[in-house]
Structure 1
Amino acid sequence: MSDRLNVLKTYKLYVGGKFPRSESGRVYEVTDSKDAWLANAPRASRKDARDAVVAARKAFGGWSGTTAYNRGQVLYRVAEMLEGRRGQFVREVADAEGLSKPKATAVVDAAIDRWVWYAGWTDKIAQIAGGANPVAGPFFNLSTPEPSGVVAVLAPQDSSLLGLVSVITPVIATGNTAVVVTSERHPLPALSLGEVLATSDVPGGVVNILSGSAAEIGAPLAAHQDVNGIDLTGAGTDEALAKELEIAAADNLKRVLRPRTEDWLTNPGTHRLTAFLETKTVWHPTGSLGASGSAY
């Protein structure tokens, strides 16, 4: 028998590709389903939220300008790294959600598969969200989807990995950048995901991960003038919080994805892929134009 005490890990935020401590200096204890102390997580502040938005905005130009095919390759690389750390995530999900090892394994496998599924959509979403429109006149009229910009995501409170992946991946697969607020009670899989992203090909700032209170961090994100959309999934059953954040988001006409009952194990469809896309419509003359007679 050993009297040695385990060294509990103190996690960091993930902002701009780096791991800062919370500006407030606060941490909180993370426990498992049996209230055993697992680790310490940072409690992010409003300042941390603002810093994360700055990082996300800085990364947006490069990420949205990357070809859709290349984004798919980058995201698939993340899935490969998740697969390599599968055992760690199984333990974290089992601890967080009180699942048996076989059930936790099934959840982690579903999360990895979900990541691959969304990675495959990067160069296909334009085919269902865009198109050629019939018009009366000698013109081409083409509609193409474009990312909205910076999206704040309140991750699900009870689905620490599968739900997390299901809300983050469609946002970044379509060229947006994300500021994610983790589940307050179960933040460790999300914070570990930050460690995976930091060692992958995803540029710093594309995903920024903050742990703490959805109400505390969500409020400045919903009101932030440089945030273009917000996913309120993590507001869950707190209707008052969801309404407060939606009202704040209206100030600069953010796109808002309202919370609803979700079964994360079912086919997710494409509604999250299109939730934070804008549509650009282009008119172009048909036929021959100019002295050169070039055809368009």
Structure 2
Amino acid sequence: MSTVDRLSVLKTYKLFVGGKFPRSESGRVYEVTDSKGNWLANAPLSSRKDARDAVVAARKAFGAWSGATAYNRGQILYRVAEMLEGRRDQFTAEVADAEGLSKAKAAAQVDAAIDRWVWYAGWTDKVAQIVGGANPVAGPFFNVSSPEPTGVVAVLAPQESSFLGLVSVIAPVIATGNTAVVIASERAPLPALSLGEVLATSDLPGGVVNLLSGRTAELAVPLAAHQDVNAVDLAGADAELARELEIGAADNLKRVFRPRSVDFSAEPGTDRLTAFLETKTVWHPTGSLGAGGSSY
């Protein structure tokens, strides 16, 4: 058979939930096109049931992931960067199509995303040193504050930065021991869905990151109101949707990271790294008061 007679094997993109690759339970898909309107693929059109399943998976994974040592989480994040490096050409092509970039500019975005994973991998066992510490106390006690993860975080990935922005909002959430339910860019979800394939083979436990594609508003509204979601990153929400989601999130006092103008190519700082942390303070008696302690 000549090469002109051969039919290309098109990639089937699936969701990434609980470490597995399901299709949407609704069976729906939607067309994804490049910047010129050319068809690229059919992406799963996630339903509210898919979103609920993702929350269940994230909650199930939270105990073990938050209980892992910070050093171990850093090793796993670094392994993600290693896997991305090996699939650099694939992500370069997907980012170029998604964002209408030249191959060189898309490659620069992918390189920056890989470096971003490494950057956050290095922070896993250091963040406690900048947000925790010993506190001065008047009395025979010592008082120590330390950070703990908030829980399950719903993340609306940036709409325009399909890969570098995506990595910039996922990595800090999981680096600090949270688990994530991520809604990919509605217009350009393919790099996110491919990221799921990398995460599945990079030692990351199933359920730590769950990736959904589809209509951002359709999925974000029930996630913001979900009683087992502890925080929301509104990076990919417009002003109107963000207001609606903040109202929904208030029902169980979720932490909300509001949308803002961000240059994802710049050094990220620690804002997102510390956004989804709680502070545990332990009081411990000294001297003759005994060895018992208390915390709040």
Q: What TM-score does the superposition give when structure 1 sets the normalisation length?
A: 0.96
1:199 is aligned to 2:201: yes
CA distance in 2, matches of 1:152, 1:56: 10
Could you tell me which residue of structure 2 aligns to residue 261 of structure 1?
A: 261
Instruction: Compute the displacement of 1:9 (Å).
Output: 2.1
Which residue of structure 2 aligns with residue 39 of structure 1? 41
Q: Is the 8 A contact 1:231 1:258 kept in 2?
A: yes
The residue type paired with residue 256 of structure 1 is V
For 2:120 and 2:202, the matched residues in 1 are separated by: 17
Contact 1:21–1:42 (Cα < 8 Å) also in 2: yes
What's the CA shift string for 1:122-159, capped at 9, x where partnerless?
00000001111101011111110000000000000000
Which sections of structure 2, spanning at least 5 residues, go unmatched? none
Please state whether the residue corresponding to 1:9 is helix, strand or coil: coil
Alignment of 1:121-132 (within 5 A): 121-132=123-134
Q: Counterpart in 1 of 2:16?
A: 14
Matched with 1:247 is 247
1:155 equivalenced with 2:157 (yes/no): yes
Is the 1:9–1:40 Cα contact (8 Å) retained in structure 2? no
Name the SS for the 2:262 alignment partner: coil
Kindly tell me the number of residue pairs found equivalent between the two proteins. Answer: 290
Shift of 1:103: 0.6
What is the 5 A alignment of 1:35-184?
A: 35-184=37-186
Contact 1:151–1:176 (Cα < 8 Å) also in 2: yes
How far does the alpha carbon of each residue in 1:241-282 deviate from its partner, in whole angstroms, 9 at most, with x for none? 110001000000000000000100111000101100000111
Mapped partners of 2:221, 2:182: distance in 1: 13
The amino acid across from 1:143 in the alignment is S
SS of the residue aligned with 2:168?
Answer: helix
Q: Which residue of structure 2 lines up, in the alignment, with residue 270 of structure 1?
A: 270
Q: Which moved more, 1:280-289 or 1:254-263?
A: 280-289
* 1:90 Cα deviation after fit: 0.4
Q: CA deviation at 1:29?
A: 1.1
Corresponding residue of 1:185: 187
* TM-score computed with the length of structure 2 as normaliser: 0.96
Cα distance, 1:40 vs structure 2: 1.1
The offset of 1:289, in angstroms, is 5.0
1:142 partner SS: strand
Partners in 2 of 1:269 and 1:240 — Cα distance? 27
- In 1, the alpha carbon distance for the partners of 2:284 and 2:102 equals 59
The sequence identity of aligned pairs, in percent, is 82
* Matched residue SS, 2:32: strand
Query: Aligned partner of 1:112: which letter?
Result: I
Does the 8 Å CA contact 1:8/1:38 hold for their aligned counterparts? no
- Tell me how far 1:10 sits from its aligned partner: 2.4
SS at match of 2:10: coil
- 1:62 & 1:99 partners in 2: Cα distance? 40
Structure 1, unaligned runs of 5 or more: none
CA distance in 2, matches of 1:240, 1:96: 25
Q: SS at 1:120's partner residue?
A: helix
CA distance in 1, matches of 2:252, 2:26: 28
Local SS of the residue matching 1:274: helix
Inter-partner Cα distance in structure 2 for 1:170 and 1:276: 9
Query: Match for 2:153: what amino acid?
Result: V
What letter matches 2:61 in structure 1? Answer: A
Q: Distance in 1 between matches of 2:246 and 2:185?
A: 19
1:217 to 213, 216, 219: 219
Equivalent pair of 1:149/1:228 in contact (CA under 8 Å): yes
Counterpart CA distance in 2 for 1:73 and 1:10 is 30
RMSD of aligned Cα (Å): 1.3
Instruction: Return the offset for 1:240.
Output: 1.2
Q: Distance in 2 between matches of 1:184 and 1:116?
A: 26
Amino acid at match of 2:268: P
What secondary structure sits across from 1:233 in the alignment? coil
